[in-house]
Amino acid sequence: MIAKVQDGLVTKHDLIETKNEIKADMNVRFERIDGELKLNRWMLGVLLAGVISLVLKAFFLTLPKRILRAFSRLDYIHSSYLFHE
């Protein structure tokens, strides 16, 4: 009768072994999730850099034309100095 009860008991060694297995499994999962987060950060950074470059391109490529048009309205600047195409 005592032998049957002792077979169903959990020892400290069994608990430690199970805890280590669970920790190892969690570490594998967290490493995978960490890798996916790093990939997402890189993709977001590339996307953000692309959007910023397009906004700056749109702003700085149209800005000189606007400035030159403003100066071309002045009488003392000849238009041949302003528009070389």
Going from the C-alpha of 36 to that of each of 4, 16, 31, 40, the distances in angstroms are 48, 30, 9, 6
As a whole number, mean pLDDT of residues 17-45 equals 90
Sign of the CA dihedral with 69 first, then 73, 74, and 80 last: positive
Q: Which pLDDT band, with edges at 50, 70 and 90, does 43 fall under? A: very high
Assessment of whether the complete model's pTM goes beyond 0.75: no
User: Residue 16 is which amino acid?
Assistant: I
Q: What is the pLDDT of residues 4-27, one digit of tens each?
A: 656 677 788 888 998 888 888 888
